[in-house]
């Protein structure tokens, strides 16, 4: 009598281990991709909020006169008789050096409740040579205003505008 070889059906232990390992790698890769998508979505939302905060503050600043008619000092920043508070700022350069955390609106109400937000303003005299923006007192009738919004130290938005002395606020 000859014996017939037995036909085995099913997986061996080694095949099961390899399949489990491949499945685990696929699950980990899927979770990593899902996590990265969530981080990117949050970052995009934060950048949109930062751009809105920067645009609001920049439009508030550029709506003010180029200079205070009573300012004989010719320096950037609030005048000596003004406290460094936005409710008394009456010209563009009063905002020089402003830093707020959290960002506030013109009336002093916080625009975000999440910790880590900060907005700052830099105002400098500009020249017709755009590469030579300076902090000197060479006022040729142009000021560059830059509003920067940061979240936990990371720059999320930065907007700049040039404000000219001859620009009339009454015209659209």
DSSP state of 3: P
Report the candidate in 2, 137, 132 with the shortest Cα–Cα distance to residue 67.
Answer: 137
**pLDDT one-digit tens code per residue, 30-85:** 998 888 888 888 888 889 989 989 999 999 888 888 877 676 566 777 776 666 66
Burial class (CB in 10 A: 0-12, 13-18, 19+), 147: buried
Report the candidate in 46, 29, 34, 41 with the shortest Cα–Cα distance to residue 157.
Answer: 46
What are the strands of the beta sheet with 142-151, ordered from one edge? 99-100, 117-125, 142-151, 154-164
pLDDT band at 129 (very low <50, low <70, confident <90, very high): low
Peptide bond into 102 cis (omega under 30): yes
pTM: 0.70
Which pair of tokens denotes residue 30?
Answer: 């899927």
Which is more confidently placed, 86 or 52? 52
């Amino acid at each position: 009598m000859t014996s017939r070889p037995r036909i085995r059906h099913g997986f061996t232990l080694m095949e099961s281990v390899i399949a489990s390992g491949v499945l685990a790698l696929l699950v980990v890769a899927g979770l990593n991709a899902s996590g990265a998508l969530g981080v990117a979505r949050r970052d995009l939302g934060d950048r949109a909020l930062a751009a809105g905060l920067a645009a609001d503050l920049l439009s508030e600043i550029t709506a003010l006169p180029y200079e205070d008619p009573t300012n004989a000092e010719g320096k950037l920043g609030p005048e000596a008789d003004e406290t460094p508070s936005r409710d008394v700022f009456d010209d563009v350069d009063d905002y020089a050096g402003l830093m707020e955390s959290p960002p506030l609106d013109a009336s002093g109400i916080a625009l975000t409740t999440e910790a880590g937000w900060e907005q700052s303003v830099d105002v400098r005299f500009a020249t017709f040579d755009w590469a030579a923006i300076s902090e000197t007192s060479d006022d040729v009738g142009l000021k560059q205003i830059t509003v920067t919004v940061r979240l936990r130290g990371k720059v999320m938005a930065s907007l700049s505008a040039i404000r000219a002395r001859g620009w009339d606020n009454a015209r659209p």
